[in-house]
Amino acid sequence: MSTNSKSANNRYLKLHHDTWVYCRRVPKDLKHLYPNKTNITISLKTSSVKAARIKRDKLNGELAAQLQGAYSPDRMQFKQYLEQVKPYVGALQANDSAIDFDDVLPRNDIAKAAFRQEVYGDNQHAYSYTLLEGLNSLLGRSSNATPDTVSKLRNATERFLLFLKARDIPLREIHKKQVVEYVDYLGQEYAHGTITAHLSRLKSVWVHAYKLGEIDQKISPFCDHDLSKYRGEGTQQKQLFSKHQLQQILRECPENIKNVVRLGLFTGARLNEICNAHEELIDGVRCMVIKKSKTASGVRVVPLPPQVDDITLPLCIETKTTGRAFSRFKVERITDDKTRSFHSLRVHYTTAAQRAKVEEFETATLVGHKAGQTMSYGYYAKSDVKKLLESATVIANQVEREWLVD
């Protein structure tokens, strides 16, 4: 193989001591994602050139995806003009200034807008802060965001821009009427819950931009939409499994998800809560500690009843993979009824609590519903744990009597 061929195969790769390093100039349209950097340099942590090439190709693919979502060329040009004019703002504002516009910027509409914003504070123009900028800023500051959350935020943004047939759009140019039309568009394919989720993610980008002072309007055009006509089968309340179905689930579900199912049934916890939970011994009581939940009330400590004494946390499994595995099993072996799902196990638990006449406040505490009391109840004092264990055990015993004992 020739030297030139080898060089072409190793593009963007450098060997540093015994380790391959990815080194590439920051693409012009991605400079906003790599402030104060001219090169992207990443250790590939391998001495194998074949492994390095595979990792290099993956990084190139990620950059290509970023380039597809890069801001509009006009916005990029506007930001460059802003940087050009900033050093001269004081002089340009002075009455006896020796320099003027033509000494700093070229004569075009984008440059004029940048000049007016920096010198006169006029930000009413077509090149203002964009949806993609808001998204990238939000993701850059959300260090605890899961890959699933990042993917959903990007998907919601890309889908909205695709509907607008735009590469990007200034946030101030997004109007309520556009979003109403977008909701109607989504309603042709999706149910109420999915539409709500998409709007919520877009709203989070808007709120983030407002908090940064990039936009002046606090109320988002993604808020307060009438979605009542999209309520249908997809939003029906989850139903209980029959006694036979529940027994079959516990008996036949795949081994790799059996513990998740049992925890769902005997603690009432949500799937994502179980997959991310760990355990602690609090005041002598073994507890499931849930630090990530869909609501603030969902962050809680759940004493574990005897029915799950053999299960050790954390389970070290991924939520989406586990959910799909349960859904496939349920459809193939139990029922294709969409109102019966993993969440139905939570319905069994709360139904058992009601039938066992457990105090409603304690049930709410265990399942992570808003209890409507003072904030101190959300941070379970050690003296509360033993009483919660009593209630958790009563509920778990009721589950067994209702559905698992013939």
**pLDDT of 118 higher than 80:** yes
Domain match, 268 and 209 both: no
List pLDDT tens digits, range 132-146. Answer: 888 888 887 776 778
3-state secondary structure of 280: strand
372 domain residue, yes or no: yes
63 and 77 together in one domain: no
Residue 211 sits in a domain of what CATH number? 1.10.150
Same domain (yes/no): 143, 181: yes
381 against 406, higher pLDDT: 406
Rounded average pLDDT over 307-321? 93
Q: Quote the mean pLDDT of the chain.
A: 86
DSSP bridge pairs for 130 = 170
pLDDT at residue 136 in the model? 83
Q: Which pLDDT band holds residue 68 (cuts at 50, 70, 90)?
A: low
Q: Among the three residues 40, 68, 96, which one is the final residue of a domain in this structure?
A: 68
In the prediction, which pLDDT does 329 show? 96
- How much is the pLDDT for 276? 92
Q: 187 lies in which domain range?
A: 131-235
Dump pLDDT digits (tens) for 235-262. 467 899 999 999 999 999 999 999 999 9
Report in angstroms the alpha-carbon separations of 22 from 8, 34, 44, 107: 14, 15, 7, 40
Instruction: Look at the block and give the residue holding tokens 């290509």.
Output: 64
Residue 93 pLDDT > 60: yes
Half-sphere exposure of 206 (CA within 13 A, CB side): 22
- Asked if residue 106 is part of any domain, the answer here is yes
Does 344 share its domain with 400?
yes
**How far apart, in Å, are the Cα atoms of 205 and each of 200, 221, 324?**
9, 12, 29
Q: What is the pLDDT of residue 92?
A: 87
Domain count, the chain: 4
Mean pLDDT of 76-84: 85
Distance between CA 364 and CA 362 in Å, rounded? 5
Q: Is 88 part of a structural domain of the chain?
A: yes
Please indicate, yes or no, whether residues 354 and 337 belong to a single structural domain of this protein: yes
| CATH number for 286 | 1.10.443.10
In terms of domains, do 195 and 298 share one?
no
Q: What pLDDT was estimated at residue 379?
A: 43
> Which amino acid is residue 212, in one-letter code?
L
287 in a structural domain: yes
The per-residue pLDDT for 6 is 52
On whether residue 125 sits in a domain, the answer given is no
374 vs 69: which has the higher pLDDT: 69
Tell me how far apart the alpha carbons of residues 159 and 195 are, in angstroms, rounded to a whole number. Answer: 12
146 and 79, same structural domain?
A: no
Better-scored residue on pLDDT, 181 or 370: 181
Is 255 in the same domain as 346? yes
For the cut 50, the answer to whether the pLDDT of residue 366 exceeds it is yes
Q: Is 277 in the same domain as 382?
A: yes
What pTM was estimated for this model as a whole?
0.51
Phi-psi region of 121 (alpha: psi -120 to 50; beta: other; left: phi over 0): left
Among 235, 237, 239, 204, which residue's Cα sits nearest to residue 220?
204
Is residue 126 domain-resident?
no
Give backbone dihedrals phi and psi of 359, rounded to 5 degrees, phi first.
Answer: -55, 135
Tell me the β-bridge partners of 39: 25
Q: Using the 3D structure, point to which of 183, 207, 235 is the last residue of a domain.
A: 235
Q: Are 254 and 357 in contact (CB under 8 A)?
A: no
pLDDT at residue number 377: 44
pLDDT band at residue 33 using 50, 70 and 90 as cut-offs: low
Percent of the chain residues topping a pLDDT of 70: 89
Check whether residue 272 and residue 205 sit in a common domain: no
Q: Which residue, 186, 205, 235, sits at the end of a domain?
A: 235
Q: Which residue has the higher pLDDT, 187 or 296?
A: 187
**Token pair 């638990």 is at which residue?**
349
Q: Is residue 311 part of a domain?
A: yes
Residue by residue, DSSP assigns 182-244 as HHHHHHTT--HHHHHHHHHHHHHHHHHHHHTTS-S--S-TTSS---GGG-SGGGPPP-PPPHH
- CA 338-343-347 angle, 5° bins: 105
Q: Residues 90, 46: one domain?
A: no
Residue 383 burial by Cβ neighbours in a 10 Å radius (0-12, 13-18, 19+): exposed
Band (pLDDT 50/70/90 cuts) for residue 70 is low
CB 306 within 8 A of CB 393: yes
Site of tokens 């081994």: 255
Contacts of 64 (CB under 8 A, 6+ apart): none
In this model, does residue 271 exceed pLDDT 80?
yes
Pairwise pLDDT comparison (285 vs 66), residue with the higher score: 285
Q: Residue 133 in contact with residue 71, Cβ under 8 Å?
A: yes
Q: Model confidence at 402, in pLDDT bands (50, 70, 90)? A: very high
| DSSP structural state of residue 145 | -
Tell me: do 314 and 368 sit in the same domain.
yes
pLDDT in tens, 149-175: 888 998 999 899 989 888 888 898 899
